[in-house]
């Protein structure tokens, strides 16, 4: 006859084994849950995507305003008044809002002057501020949410002719102080980039890489140095002459692979337009090659500054 105590011991052992099995199962579920959580995209990535879309909307809105302006002004996109006798020799590398208050370098609250004796140093952002003065675009629309820049609230917008400083504007524009055929207009090559997130070459501290990338799409990690800093080097929103805007992963998206943030020094060799020079180096206007008759054709060189 089997002892009732042995049966009780067996039942207890089975209960303990079931308890251990349950604990083990809970541990496994916990581990799997941690793995799943680790694989789910973090919230900052989703926010970055949202910020990128807002930035793209800003750039697209700028293009719409440019098109409206061109419709009213003989198909020309805006350009702040400047000394036309100094075409191609304007020093545009002055920081936004950094004028000295002289005819050579007008202060933020001083209008630029066209004609002889007019300005010699003029920011590119003065052209963008024209839309703020006209009421077509608000200062907030010139801020990329992921750039770290911030809007400066203005009580009297009409009292200024430029942004308060580089931290209050996130976008650059095709340098407008060269020959008429190098300025942003409806006549330029429709593939050209005419506005974008501001570029990386804003002073002498940022060197232009010397190597021509063989395939930008295949070497993305090595191309961050060419890109705008607005999106952590991941790319930039770009407005093209045909009016469309797109987020581009590298800066070689001008005509024939032109680097949109550097000055082309020619078009006969890839390094002259895929690498080019820093705008800060000599403040040159966009490169415009002469045609067979010695006349200057419409440029294919995109030069976005700042």
Tens of pLDDT, residues 113-149: 888 778 999 999 999 999 999 999 999 999 999 999 9
CA 102 – CA 93 distance, rounded (Å): 16
3 in any annotated domain: no
- The predicted model scores a pTM of 0.81
Note whether 146 and 54 are same-domain residues.
yes
47-76 confidence digits (pLDDT tens): 578 888 999 999 999 999 999 998 998 888
Continuous segment of H or E residues that includes residue 281: helix 279-282
Is residue 218 predicted with pLDDT exceeding 80? no
Tell me: do 19 and 52 sit in the same domain.
no
Residues 49 and 76 in one domain: yes
Residues 267 and 158 reside in one and the same domain: yes
Report the distance separating Cα 6 and Cα 2, nearest Å. Answer: 7
pLDDT confidence tier of residue 213, bands split at 50, 70 and 90: low
Residues 28, 167: one domain? Answer: no
Per-residue pLDDT, averaged over 279-298, amounts to 74
pLDDT-based confidence at 32, cuts 50/70/90? Answer: confident
The reply to whether 19 and 87 lie within a common domain is: no
CA distances from 247 to 213, 235, 240 (A): 20, 7, 11
- The total of structural domains in the chain comes to 2
Residue 304 has pLDDT above 60, yes or no: yes
Residue-level pLDDT at 227: 93
Q: Does residue 77 sit within a domain?
A: yes
Is the predicted pLDDT of residue 214 greater than 70, yes or no? Answer: no
- The least confident of 77-81, 129-133, 187-191 is 187-191
Question: Which pair of structure tokens corresponds to residue 57?
Answer: 């909307």
Is residue 299 very low, low, confident or very high in pLDDT (cuts 50, 70, 90)? confident
The pLDDT of residue 283 is 85
Q: Is the peptide bond before 306 cis (omega within 30 degrees of 0)?
A: yes
Tell whether 1 is covered by a domain.
no
The better pLDDT of the pair 227, 27 is held by 227
User: Do 265 and 287 belong to one domain?
Assistant: yes
Across 175-234, where does the E strand assignment appear?
Answer: 193-197
Same domain membership, residue 60 and residue 20: no
Specify if 195 maps to a domain. yes
Question: CA torsion 282→283→289→294, rounded to 10°?
Answer: -90
Separation CA 294–CA 146 (nearest Å)? 45
Kindly report the number of other CB atoms within 10 A of residue 295's CB atom: 8
Tell me if 266 sits within 8 A of 275, measured CB to CB.
no
Please tell me the number of Cα atoms within 13 Å of 82 on its side-chain side: 27
Tokens of residue 257, six digits: 């692979």
Same domain, 113 and 96: yes
Same domain, 53 and 34: no
Helix (H) or strand (E) holding 15: helix 4-39
136 within 8 A of 41, measured Cβ to Cβ: no
Q: 53 and 25 in one domain?
A: no
Domain presence at residue 120: yes
Q: Across the strands, what pairs with 277?
A: 263
Cα 225 to chain centroid, rounded? 13
Q: What is the pLDDT of residue 43?
A: 46
- pLDDT exceeds 60 at position 165: yes
* pLDDT (tens digit per residue) in 13-24: 555 555 557 677
Q: Answer whether residue 50 is part of any domain.
A: yes
Same domain, 213 and 289: yes
pLDDT mean across residues, the chain: 84
Quick: pLDDT tens for 248-261: 999 999 988 899 99
Residue 36 structural domain? 8-40
Residues 53 and 246 sit within 8 Å (Cβ to Cβ): no
2 lies in a domain? no
pLDDT at 6 over 80: no
Residues of the chain with pLDDT > 70, as a percent, come to: 81
- Determine, yes or no, domain membership for 213: yes
Residue 268: φ, ψ to 5°: -90, -20
């Amino acid at each position: 006859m089997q002892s009732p105590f042995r049966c009780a011991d067996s039942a207890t052992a089975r209960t303990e084994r079931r308890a251990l099995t349950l604990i083990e199962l809970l541990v496994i579920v916990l581990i799997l849950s941690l793995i799943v959580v680790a694989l789910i995209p973090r919230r900052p990535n989703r926010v970055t995507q949202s910020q990128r879309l807002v930035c793209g909307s800003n750039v697209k809105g700028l293009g719409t305003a440019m098109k409206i302006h061109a419709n009213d002004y003989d198909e020309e996109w805006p350009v702040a008044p400047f000394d036309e006798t100094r075409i191609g020799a304007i020093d545009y590398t002055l920081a936004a809002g950094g004028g000295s208050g002289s005819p050579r370098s007008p202060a933020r609250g001083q209008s630029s002057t066209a004609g002889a004796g007019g300005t010699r140093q003029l920011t590119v952002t003065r052209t963008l501020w024209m839309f703020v003065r006209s009421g077509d675009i608000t200062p907030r629309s010139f801020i990329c949410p992921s750039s770290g820049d911030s809007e400066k609230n203005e009580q009297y917008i009409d009292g200024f002719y430029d942004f308060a400083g580089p931290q209050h504007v996130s976008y650059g524009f095709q340098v407008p102080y060269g020959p008429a055929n190098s300025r942003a207009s409806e006549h330029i090559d429709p593939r050209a980039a005419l506005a974008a997130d501001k570029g990386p070459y804003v002073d002498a501290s940022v060197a232009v890489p010397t190597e021509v990338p063989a395939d930008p799409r295949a070497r993305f990690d090595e191309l961050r140095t060419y890109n705008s800093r607005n999106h952590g080097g991941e790319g930039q929103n770009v407005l093209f002459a045909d009016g469309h805007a797109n987020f581009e992963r590298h800066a070689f998206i001008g005509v024939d692979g032109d680097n949109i943030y550097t000055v082309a020094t020619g078009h006969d060799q890839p390094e002259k337009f895929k690498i080019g020079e820093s705008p800060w180096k000599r403040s040159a206007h966009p490169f415009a090659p002469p045609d067979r008759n010695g006349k200057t054709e419409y440029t294919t060189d995109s030069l976005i500054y700042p």
